[in-house]
Amino acid sequence: MVLKRFAVFTAMATFLLVWMGGLVTSNGAGLSVPDWPNSYGYNMFLFPVSKWIGNIFYEHTHRLAASAVGLLTTVLALWLFGRKARPVLRFGGLLFAAAGAVLCWMFPAHAAENLLLAGVGLAAVAASFFWPACEPSAKWLRALGVIAFLAVVAQGVLGGLRVTQLKDQLGVFHAALGQLFFLLVSAIALFHTDFWRRLPVQATIDRHRFRPLLLVSAALILAQLVLGATMRHQHAGLAIPDFPSAYGKIWPDTGAAAVARHNQDRLEAAGENPITAFQIDLQMAHRIGALLVFVAVGVCLWRAWRYLGAWHTLTRFCAIWFGLVLTQVFLGAATIWTGKSADVATAHVACGALCLMTGGLASVVSFRLLAPAPRFVLAEKNTPARLPRPQIT
């Protein structure tokens, strides 16, 4: 019961972190703290609160929240190993404490950071004596916990490299991995709920191939989120200032003369930065992706309602999913209508994470509720009916 609540709390904290990451990007605060892992030369955790001003506040609190999620994920991964995690905590903590002490002696100028490392090690050793003595979780759940731990470490490194290397491409990978990590910890939380335990195992044959449809729809959302992250890091969010039209047309002209005219209008109207044809095409691709996601999730809801019934678990999942997609479409339009308001753009990012999470969990639930149709059933379904042979008299 306690592990279930902790897993759900970790998932909720991860969603908050995604929201804060959206705030960083929407406010243009990604490089407000130019160094990493320190913050303006201070240890990240010792950075004075008095200096948390302007965009530094968004960037620094995002780093602190990311560290908190990293700690929660580490605890969750260890908790899935139950009593077997005690030796890892004990000997790993001793190693950290020894490393901190040695580094204090070798680099006295960084005593604060090294003492913090030693303190973490001693805390791990102390925790090993009070660690839950529960049985380890299933092997596949422990594997998911290890993957989550590795993912959160990789996410932190990508975030740091984005600052130190000044490469927008790393920001796209950082955003995409963040979305997948949120889905992963949400799935781990789902597997510990009473809802999951009460689900029947493959109670219905998937005669209408519903599971592949859910997976494809969730994959479309992931691709759309990656495309959106590319737009944000390419600064293409307002490359087209109107919606649902695009510069007054269904598809905008991206010729050299048209782009030059658009840039002249942007400069005269609001002094905005110039755009390129690639940025316009990128936003149009994002709009087409949104239409594909809307249709795909709508088809999921329709097929679930028709073939599984209005009160089936997957139908309710798809209804919530479709509602989130509708909200996401509205937030995307509102982002343009409000001139990319930071709060609206951030809500758009957060709702996208919820769309992916809901679709991913619906796909997971479908593999528990639906069994693949036997081959002879599919063959019988796809074989055209034969007319009776005429009788010869």
pLDDT per position as a tens digit, 218-258: 999 999 999 998 888 777 667 888 888 988 888 888 888 88
**What confidence category does residue 372 fall into, taking pLDDT thresholds of 50, 70 and 90?**
confident
Choose the final residue of a domain: 198, 217, 232: 198
**What confidence category does residue 102 fall into, taking pLDDT thresholds of 50, 70 and 90?**
confident
Specify the pLDDT at position 393: 43
**What confidence category does residue 31 fall into, taking pLDDT thresholds of 50, 70 and 90?**
confident
On the 0-12 / 13-18 / 19+ scale of CB atoms within 10 A, 243 is middle
Cα separations in angstroms, 63 against 8, 166, 224, 359 = 21, 17, 26, 28
Residues 178 and 240 in one domain: no
Using a pLDDT cut of 70, give the percent of the chain over it: 92
Residues 243 and 146 in one domain: no
Least confident of 110-119, 193-202, 242-251, 253-262: 110-119
Residues 244 and 375 in one domain: yes
Average pLDDT over residues 141-164: 92
**What confidence category does residue 27 fall into, taking pLDDT thresholds of 50, 70 and 90?**
confident
Residues 190 and 213 in one domain: no
Residues 370 and 292 in one domain: yes
Residues 368 and 258 in one domain: yes
Q: Which residues pair with 257 in a beta bridge?
A: none
- Token pair, residue 67, equals 């560290």
**What confidence category does residue 390 fall into, taking pLDDT thresholds of 50, 70 and 90?**
very low
Angle between helices 313-337 and 277-307 (to 10 degrees): 160
Write the single-letter amino acid at 385: A
pTM of the model: 0.88
On the 0-12 / 13-18 / 19+ scale of CB atoms within 10 A, 131 is buried
Please, which contacts does 267-273 make with residues 24 or more away whose CB atoms are closer than 8 Å? 272/238, 273/235
- Token pair, residue 343, equals 């709060």
Residue 118 is assigned to a structural domain of this protein: no
pLDDT above 70 (res 391): no
Residue 94 is assigned to a structural domain of this protein: no
Residues 181 and 221 in one domain: no
Report CA 31 to chain centroid distance, whole Å: 21
**What confidence category does residue 148 fall into, taking pLDDT thresholds of 50, 70 and 90?**
very high
Residues 256 and 193 in one domain: no
Average pLDDT over residues 90-96: 88
| Greater pLDDT, 165 or 226 | 226
- What total number of domains does the chain contain? 2
Average pLDDT over residues 191-215: 85
- Token pair, residue 161, equals 């490299």
pLDDT above 70 (res 209): yes
Report CA 253 to chain centroid distance, whole Å: 34
Choose the final residue of a domain: 177, 198, 219: 198
**What confidence category does residue 375 fall into, taking pLDDT thresholds of 50, 70 and 90?**
low
Average pLDDT over residues 279-286: 90
**What confidence category does residue 360 fall into, taking pLDDT thresholds of 50, 70 and 90?**
very high
Residues 187 and 284 in one domain: no
Residues 210 and 159 in one domain: no
- Token pair, residue 363, equals 């796909």
Using a pLDDT cut of 90, give the percent of the chain over it: 42
Residue 96 is assigned to a structural domain of this protein: no
Least confident of 44-58, 90-104, 193-207: 193-207
Residue 6 is assigned to a structural domain of this protein: yes
Average pLDDT over residues 204-231: 90
Residues 357 and 285 in one domain: yes
Specify the pLDDT at position 151: 95
pLDDT above 90 (res 273): no
pLDDT above 50 (res 387): no
Residue 112 is assigned to a structural domain of this protein: no
pLDDT above 50 (res 365): yes
Residue 45 is assigned to a structural domain of this protein: yes
Residue 160 is assigned to a structural domain of this protein: yes
Task: Give alpha helix (H) positions in the chain.
Answer: 2-26, 55-80, 85-106, 111-128, 139-165, 168-191, 194-198, 210-233, 256-270, 277-307, 313-337, 342-369, 375-382
Residue 128 is assigned to a structural domain of this protein: no
| Greater pLDDT, 380 or 275 | 275
| Structural domain harbouring 303 | 200-381
Specify the pLDDT at position 270: 63
Choose the final residue of a domain: 173, 198, 223: 198
| Greater pLDDT, 206 or 185 | 185
pLDDT above 60 (res 378): no
Residues 162 and 246 in one domain: no
